[in-house]
């Protein structure tokens, strides 16, 4: 180990060890690659928050049954019904969107989930009667 | 080949003669041999030593409800004839013991201790019966994989039975490390016995992230258990998902469309690429070579962003479906993948040139953490670590799945068994993966990407395997009524390789441990489940 270090240093001093120059050249060539905030939009295929269009919904319950994490719930609220999605549980697999025959549930590429209040992560949609 | 297989099986049947109770060909590539407990050792010895089979996985299962006893399955792989032989033996509840083979086959050490912890079957004659999966403070008489154990049950904690190697004399210093480490890594407790700077012995305590996933999956519909499988580990997410899907497809006896096979191969190689390139960069952190770390990270990030563009998920989750894949890709994606790979290839070649021509880096890596071929064979080590020690196995070539039988690639094998050899295997495999992906785009057939599964009968069995970036991952599945999971056993590459780390470290200096550990690059979550 020590022998190799001495050898490398010697070579660098004598100008024969171009390995250090290679490293410096690589750093120079790379430059800064970090992206600055705000980040760009996520890719189109990214599975983020759900977009629910209540007027299309036929209340078949397919999405509730398909959800592997039990994140989607339907509750009776007064005369109508409320569909709630808990992003605290959602695994963003996209099964709900793929089983919905009328495309009332669709995935969007919105990935902004950071919040200081957990309740912000429960999306409630009121269904028309 | 077909004739060879037949001959191979007939010979085994004849040679075992009356030692076995039954001999059934269950699937074209799987044969089941039922033996009595007292013949187990002899049959396993015959298969391993005379027929050169290697232990693939071992499963203990509580089948008292429908078969009247506990059942143990020992699966051996015969790579030359591409066959699996399952040795099955029953053990009734009244006599809940089985003969231990760990002294003869060290690879069985962990499997037998796991069966003891989780099912309460006692391996008779096992040299080391310390608790493995359940840490010492778990009550000895509660066994989570027995059917009467309720998942919602809270086990009381008892006084810990944990014990570590005891040293005599003043020369040995004990250095405990973890389970909480500096930096973002998973939990594991390592206890070195060191003489001066040199490690004498390493005690590794794992299974801090045991989440009981196998128990949690019991009774779960197969379609939902797929998502559980996908979440066993972060960086092998796709390997686990494909293994599980293959196990279900084997149980359903269904062939997936050719295009789906190619797509799975493509994504599996993308997973290998980002892991291997990240690992080559990360290894530089083991000797403080910051340029290597950042260059590796830059390339890995490029690949993760590619994954997100193509599949919608950086770690390739949500792609696999039971019976195929969930979405198709089109020509703009082909171009995106190929152009990104061209960039990666150039960048990675530069990184490798810098790393391997750096005297100090090479000096730190060579002859460090040597795992001998004998050790690798005895412990049935798999993956990169096996190939770096001269153990020539790669399940992609030996028991092809997905479209690996249609693409050509070479399997790099080195014999030194040190950190440098493990890095070299990864480097070679990166170029092989890029070549495989290019071949996939030349050959890509058209057609459907998934097929519906027929109803699966209860108590059907299936096995799925994938060569993940760490090594072969095996999922063993038995279905229950109404297409649910009855018993699910995950044997990841890390489960096979962790015991080898404890053998590779002694004799090295303490500061080389992180380097050796990184060169194996084992995940804890995969192993602990």
Q: What is the DSSP string of B99-148?
A: E--TTT-TTHHHHHHHHHHHH--EEET-S-----SS-TTS-TT--TTSTT
Cα B190 to Cα B419: distance, rounded to the nearest angstrom: 19
**B15 pLDDT exceeds 80?**
no
**A40 pLDDT exceeds 80?**
no
Sequence ranges of the domains in chain B = 2-123, 214-243+253-455
Supply angle C-alpha B116, B119, B122, rounded to 5: 35
User: pTM to 2 decimals?
Assistant: 0.90
**Mutating which of B313, B321, B352, B419 best tests the A interface, going by the most A Cβ atoms within 10 A?**
B313
Write the ipTM: 0.79
* pLDDT score for B404: 92
Cα B14 to Cα B418: distance, rounded to the nearest angstrom: 43
* Structure confidence by residue, pLDDT tens digits, B271-306: 999 999 999 999 988 888 888 899 999 999 999 999
What's the mean pLDDT in B208-237?
90
* pLDDT score for B475: 94
**A10 pLDDT exceeds 60?**
no
Domain B214-243+253-455 has CATH 1.10.645.10: yes
- Computed over every residue of chain B, the mean pLDDT equals 89
Q: How sure is the predictor about B167, in pLDDT bands with cuts at 50, 70 and 90?
A: confident
* pLDDT score for B504: 92
Q: How sure is the predictor about B431, in pLDDT bands with cuts at 50, 70 and 90?
A: very high
Q: How many CB atoms lie within 10 A of CB B251?
A: 23
Sequence ranges of the domains in chain A = 1-34, 50-127
Q: Using an 8 Å Cβ cutoff, are B203 and B165 in contact?
A: yes
* pLDDT score for A11: 53
**B480 pLDDT exceeds 60?**
yes
Inter-chain contact A91–B310, Cβ cutoff 8 Å?
Answer: no
Fold type of domain A50-127: Alpha-Beta Plaits (3.30.70)
Question: Which A residues, 14 through 53, put their C-beta within 8 Å of a C-beta on chain B?
Answer: 19, 22-23, 26-27, 30, 33, 42-43, 45-47
**B318 pLDDT exceeds 80?**
yes
Inter-chain contact B312–A47, Cβ cutoff 8 Å?
Answer: yes
* pLDDT score for A5: 57
* pLDDT score for A14: 52
**A12 pLDDT exceeds 70?**
no
What's the mean pLDDT in A25-47?
81
Inter-chain contact B359–A8, Cβ cutoff 8 Å?
Answer: yes
Inter-chain contact A26–B358, Cβ cutoff 8 Å?
Answer: no
* Structure confidence by residue, pLDDT tens digits, A76-125: 877 778 888 999 999 998 889 988 888 888 889 888 888 898 888 888 88
* Exposed/middle/buried for residue A69 (C-beta within 10 Å: 0-12, 13-18, 19+): middle
Domain B2-123 has CATH 3.40.50.620: no
Q: Least CA distance to A22: which residue of chain B?
A: B354
């Amino acid at each position: 180990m020590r022998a190799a270090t001495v050898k490398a240093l010697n070579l660098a001093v004598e100008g024969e060890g171009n390995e250090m120059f290679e490293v410096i050249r690589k750093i120079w060539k790379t430059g800064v690659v970090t992206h600055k905030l705000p980040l760009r939009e996520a890719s189109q295929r990214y599975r983020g928050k759900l977009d629910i269009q209540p007027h299309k919904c036929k209340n078949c319950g397919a999405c509730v049954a398909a959800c592997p994490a039990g994140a989607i719930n339907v509750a009776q609220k007064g005369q109508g019904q409320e569909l709630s999605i808990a992003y605290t549980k959602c695994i963003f697999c996209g099964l709900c969107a793929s089983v919905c025959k009328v495309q009332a549930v669709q995935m969007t590429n919105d990935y902004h989930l950071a919040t200081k209040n957990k309740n912000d992560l429960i999306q409630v949609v009121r269904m028309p009667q | 080949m077909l004739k060879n297989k037949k001959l191979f099986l007939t010979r085994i049947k004849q040679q075992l003669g009356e030692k076995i109770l039954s001999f059934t060909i269950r699937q074209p590539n799987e044969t089941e041999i039922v033996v009595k407990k007292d013949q187990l050792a002899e049959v396993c010895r015959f298969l391993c030593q005379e027929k050169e089979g290697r232990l693939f996985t071992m499963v203990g299962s509580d089948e008292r409800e429908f078969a009247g006893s506990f059942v143990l399955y020992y699966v051996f792989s015969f790579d030359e004839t591409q066959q699996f032989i399952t040795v099955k033996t029953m053990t009734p509840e009244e006599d809940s013991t089985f003969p231990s083979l760990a002294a003869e086959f060290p690879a069985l050490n962990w499997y037998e201790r796991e069966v003891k912890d989780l099912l309460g079957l006692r391996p008779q004659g096992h040299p080391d019966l310390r608790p493995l999966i359940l840490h010492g403070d778990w009550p000895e008489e509660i066994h989570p994989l027995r059917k009467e154990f309720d998942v919602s049950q809270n086990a009381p904690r008892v006084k810990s039975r944990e014990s570590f190697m005891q040293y005599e004399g003043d020369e040995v210093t004990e250095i405990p490390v973890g389970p909480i480490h500096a930096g973002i890594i998973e939990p594991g407790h390592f206890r070195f016995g060191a003489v001066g700077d040199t490690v004498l012995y390493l005690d590794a305590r794992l299974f801090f992230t045991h989440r009981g996933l196998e128990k949690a999956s019991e009774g779960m519909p197969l379609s939902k258990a797929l998502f559980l499988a996908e979440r066993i580990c972060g960086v092998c997410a796709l390997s686990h998902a494909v293994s599980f899907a293959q196990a279900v497809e084997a149980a359903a006896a269904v062939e997936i469309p050719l295009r789906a096979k190619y797509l799975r191969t493509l994504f599996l190689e993308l997973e290998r690429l980002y892991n291997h390139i990240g690992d080559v960069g990360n290894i530089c952190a083991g000797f403080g070579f910051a340029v290597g770390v950042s260059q590796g990270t830059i390339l890995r990030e490029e690949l993760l962003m590619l994954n997100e563009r193509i599949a919608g998920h950086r770690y390739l989750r949500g792609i696999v479906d039971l019976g195929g894949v969930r979405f198709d890709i089109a020509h703009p994606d082909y171009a995106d993948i190929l152009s990104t790979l061209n960039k990666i290839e150039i960048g990675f070649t530069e990184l490798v040139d810098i790393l391997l021509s750096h005297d100090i880096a090479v000096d730190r890596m060579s002859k460090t953490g040597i795992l001998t071929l004998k050790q690798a064979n005895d412990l049935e080590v798999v993956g990169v670590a096996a190939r770096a020690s001269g153990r020539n196995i790669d399940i992609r070539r030996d028991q092809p799945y997905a479209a690996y039988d249609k693409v050509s690639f070479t399997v790099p094998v080195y014999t030194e068994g040190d950190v440098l050899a493990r890095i070299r295997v990864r480097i070679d495999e990166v170029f092989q993966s890029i070549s495989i992906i290019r071949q996939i785009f030349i050959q890509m057939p058209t057609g459907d990407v998934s097929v519906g599964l027929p109803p699966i009968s209860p108590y059907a069995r299936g096995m799925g395997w994938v060569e993940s970036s760490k090594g072969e991952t095996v999922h063993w599945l038995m279905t229950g009524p109404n297409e649910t999971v009855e018993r699910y056993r995950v044997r990841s590459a890390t489960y096979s390789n962790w015991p080898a780390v404890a053998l590779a470290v002694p004799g090295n200096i303490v500061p080389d441990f992180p380097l050796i550990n990184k060169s194996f690059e084992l995940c804890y979550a995969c192993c602990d489940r």
